Chains A and B, each alone.
Chain A
Amino acid sequence: MTSQQLLSVIEPDGSTNGHESGLSKDELLHCYRTMLMVRAFDDTCMKLQRSGRIGFSIPNKGVEACQVGAASALRKTDWIFPSYRDFGMALYHGITPLEMMHNMFGNAKDGARGRQMPVHFSFVKPIHFVSISSPIGTHIPQAVGTAYAMKLRNEDNAVLTSFGDGGTSSLGFHSGMNFAAVWKAPCVFLCQNNGWAISCPSSEQTASESYAIKAKAYGMPGVLVDGNDLLAMRKAMLDALERARRGDGPTLIEAVTYRMGGHSTSDDPTRYVPKHEVEEWAKRDPVARFERHLASKKLWTKELGEKWYGEAMDLIAAAAREAEATPPPPLESIFSDVYATVPQHIRRQGEAVFELARRKGDASAGDGKFPL
């Protein structure tokens, strides 16, 4: 069941090797546009961070096909437990750049109400894109629990959980994989093997011949996929989801891809990434590869790509302007949402902050009365 053969669909010339994606023209173009949006979002956030307007971002360059190909196989009633490098999954399903930008600025309209670092998105509509935390792998067993709830209620839904090669070393990967296989939970595990866990190369992460092969010991299929091939990613996901919806349990997909940028805006990858490696992978750029496929279907020209990238940059620049102009969350948001109702001791602390503001002056405390 575990295939060590790399699944790929799009040939170097853009044709497909006999596999039909089943995507309409509009759907193919939506995939493409989403990848451009991810790239434009990245480029914008890098500039925003370098100019000190946001504190942090995570580059997605190189892994766009993994994100969009996988997301394209999901229904809106499925759930995503994402990693922090999955912007394309959110964008594909219609979460707007503006909503994401509110999070990057941590403002009053941010779903997380400015409580988290940038990139730690949380969305419930139009798809469940579950609130991201920073510890690695904790979301993996959670995804299995959500899938178990779907199974218990006899729903036809499934869960995608996504993590990097580093995530496979975490406690959560082991417990999540094991629980899912034992419970036959409708869950797909997507390991985006992008070669690096911050500065730790895959060769120092595992002694396994692949990540996909780890599935065998858990008793589930493991599939090795060319992660820079959007249609191969989609096919692997569709197969895994069909199996999950049928009640046959989980699948591990290893997407072989490459992180073309740093781990984050705080990271300088030139300190540890061999230059030749980046040059080699640049030739396998997932966006260019999909462009060749679209061109083979006469759906793409260089001008179209430039036009759409320009439109994406304009849209995201407008989103950044709006998010930057949106005020920060109100002071009382420190104290709300800890519990469903504010307990005595937290209320007292909130009141003290506002009382001090009244005595010593602090405009952000409004009229000086704790409003909760």
Chain B
Amino acid sequence: MATLTLVQAVNDALKTAMRTDQSVVVFGEDVGPKGGVFLATDGLTKEFGKTRCFDTPLSEDGIVGAGIGMALNGLKPVCEIQFQDFIFPAFDQIVSEAAKFRYRSGGQYTCPMVIRTPYGGGIRGGLYHSQSGEAYFCHTPGLKVVIPSTPHDAKGLLLASIDDPDPVLFLEPKALYRQLKGEVPEGKYTVPLSTLRTVREGKGVTVFCYGAMVPVCMKAAEQAAEKGIECLVVDLRTLLPLDEEGVLDAAKQTGRVVVVHEAPRFCGFGGEISALIAENAIEYMEAPIARVTGFDTPFPNTLEHHYMPDARRVLDAIEHVHNF
């Protein structure tokens, strides 16, 4: 068992996959000798050669489009989009192509591929190095959307994504890349997709979160505990397809729900969680569902710490639904 940062765990997962499966190829902008701008692909070109880990021209549409063609023809592409903010030229390829090949060809053509990309704020990246675009992609049948929050899950979920027969958008919380370390088993293991993780048990308030919001919510939960409110903190891990039964079960345990994400609120993933609970478990609810999210504004630079939900805002929502 090694102690790794989240980005090291991603790197370990890629190496593990490439060692065990010759069809796995890794590519994107600056992922070759440089090892990626966050060093997620560090050492891969050296170990596996430049036919299996290589730089591409600066074109997200080309990266994902070519990746689809590789996946159609027997390779297991794991491509990197340098920042999730830059993914939109590839939106057509992801939404109209990768996610629809199986359906539109009756299963004759499939796209088992992984698109890795760092998302979210906390690095003073301003409008274009900070966004959380998960909601755009969660509206896309045929695509899977996965977000880890710990080094252990980063490796296990990425290996499960690479094994998966369908295209996976793997969003990595860049704020956590080096913020925390955790124990990561050596060799191959997988964390099943579409299963949430209970981070903390509690009977007072259920807090749903994912990615970089998990440590924020844990901090808020600890502060709440000091005030006598025990929170059940749930890391969703896979947003699409969602572990709906797990969500409903967690919501019913407390009857009081807070949903937290960095992305803007309007049409955000929190709305989906709220609707799921309202439709299927309203009779268990003791208080209105609260959302703590980024604002419905572009992502600011200097004042990003006000934009991103922090423990103070989460705690306020926890207290609100608890005392309702």
Q: Which segment of A1-9, A82-90, A172-180, A237-245 sits at the interface?
A: A172-180
Q: Which residues of A from 151 to 191 have beta carbons under 8 Å from B?
A: 152-153, 171-172, 174-176, 178-179, 182
User: Of the candidates B67, B68, B89, B109, which one forms a contact with A124 in the assembled complex, judged by CB atoms under 8 Å apart?
Assistant: B109
Q: Given A133-B100, A141-B93, A339-B166, are A175 and B69 neighbors across the interface (CB < 8 Å)?
A: no
Q: Given A141-B61, A178-B62, are A122 and B104 neighbors across the interface (CB < 8 Å)?
A: yes
Q: Which residues of A from 318 to 372 have beta carbons under 8 Å from B?
A: 337-340, 343-346, 348
Q: Please, what's the 1-or-0 string for B266-294, where 1 marks a CB less than 8 Å from any CB in chain A?
A: 00000000000000000000000000000
Does A52 belong to the interface (CB within 8 Å)? no
Does B318 belong to the interface (CB within 8 Å)? no
Residue in B89, B96, B166, B241 whose Cβ sees the most chain A Cβ within 10 Å:
B241
Bound state CA distance, A112 and B104, in angstroms?
Answer: 5
Contacts of B69 in A (CB 8 A): 81, 141-149
Bound state CA distance, A344 and B276, in angstroms?
Answer: 13
User: Does the CB pair B106–A339 fall under 8 Å?
Assistant: no
Q: Which residues of B from 67 to 112 have beta carbons under 8 Å from A?
A: 67-75, 77, 89, 92-93, 96-97, 100-110
Does A110 belong to the interface (CB within 8 Å)? yes
User: Does the CB pair B96–A133 fall under 8 Å?
Assistant: yes
User: Does the CB pair B103–A171 fall under 8 Å?
Assistant: no
User: Of the candidates A111, A123, A140, which one forms a contact with B65 in the assembled complex, judged by CB atoms under 8 Å apart?
Assistant: A140
Q: Which segment of A29-37, A66-74, A113-121, A293-301 sits at the interface?
A: A113-121
In the complex, how many angstroms separate the beta carbon of A229 from the nearest chain B beta carbon? 30
Bound state CA distance, A79 and B25, in angstroms?
Answer: 21
Q: Please, what's the 1-or-0 string for B236-252, where 1 marks a CB less than 8 Å from any CB in chain A?
A: 00000111110000000
Q: Given A138-B65, A149-B70, A343-B194, are A178 and B103 neighbors across the interface (CB < 8 Å)?
A: no
Q: Given A138-B65, A145-B67, A145-B70, are A122 and B105 neighbors across the interface (CB < 8 Å)?
A: yes
Bound state CA distance, A116 and B108, in angstroms?
Answer: 14
Q: Given A135-B96, A138-B92, are A176 and B65 neighbors across the interface (CB < 8 Å)?
A: yes
Give B66's nearest chain A residue, CB to CB: A145
Q: Which residues of A from 262 to 302 have beta carbons under 8 Å from B?
A: none
Contacts of A197 in B (CB 8 A): none
Does B228 belong to the interface (CB within 8 Å)? no
User: Does the CB pair B73–A79 fall under 8 Å?
Assistant: yes
Give B64's nearest chain A residue, CB to CB: A141
Give A116's nearest chain B residue, CB to CB: B104
Does A130 belong to the interface (CB within 8 Å)? yes
Does A131 belong to the interface (CB within 8 Å)? yes
Q: Which segment of B31-39, B51-59, B300-308 sits at the interface?
A: B51-59
User: Does the CB pair B66–A179 fall under 8 Å?
Assistant: yes
Q: Count residues on chain B whose CB falls below 8 Å from chain A CBs.
A: 48
User: Does the CB pair B106–A110 fall under 8 Å?
Assistant: yes
User: Does the CB pair B72–A122 fall under 8 Å?
Assistant: no
Contacts of B120 in A (CB 8 A): none
User: Of the candidates B70, B102, B242, B243, which one forms a contact with A337 in the assembled complex, judged by CB atoms under 8 Å apart?
Assistant: B102
Bound state CA distance, A270 and B257, in angstroms?
Answer: 62
Does A150 belong to the interface (CB within 8 Å)? yes
Residue in B51, B69, B73, B244 whose Cβ sees the most chain A Cβ within 10 Å:
B69
User: Does the CB pair A149–B108 fall under 8 Å?
Assistant: no
Does B309 belong to the interface (CB within 8 Å)? no
Contacts of B68 in A (CB 8 A): 141-142, 145
Bound state CA distance, A124 and B75, in angstroms?
Answer: 17
User: Does the CB pair A112–B241 fall under 8 Å?
Assistant: no
User: Does the CB pair A113–B106 fall under 8 Å?
Assistant: yes
In the complex, how many angstroms separate the beta carbon of B312 from the nearest chain A beta carbon? 34
Give A182's nearest chain B residue, CB to CB: B57
Contacts of A124 in B (CB 8 A): 108-109
User: Of the candidates A112, A147, A346, which one forms a contact with B105 in the assembled complex, judged by CB atoms under 8 Å apart?
Assistant: A112
Contacts of B92 in A (CB 8 A): 135, 138, 171
Contacts of A148 in B (CB 8 A): 66, 69-70, 75
Bound state CA distance, A82 and B110, in angstroms?
Answer: 17
| Contact surface of B with A, Cβ cutoff 8 Å | 25, 51-52, 56-57, 59, 61-62, 64-75, 77, 89, 92-93, 96-97, 100-110, 141-142, 144, 165-166, 194, 241-245
List of 10 A-B pairs having minimum Cβ-Cβ separation, nearest first: A145-B69, A141-B65, A175-B62, A343-B241, A145-B66, A142-B69, A131-B105, A146-B69, A122-B105, A340-B165
| Contact surface of A with B, Cβ cutoff 8 Å | 79, 81, 110-113, 115-116, 120, 122-124, 130-131, 133, 135, 138, 140-150, 152-153, 171-172, 174-176, 178-179, 182, 337-340, 343-346, 348
Q: A338-B141, A339-B144 are in contact. List 5 more A-B contacts (CB 8 A).
A: A141-B64, A145-B72, A175-B59, A175-B61, A340-B110
Give 9 CB contacts A-B under 8 Å.
A131-B108, A142-B66, A144-B62, A145-B68, A148-B70, A149-B73, A175-B66, A343-B194, A344-B243
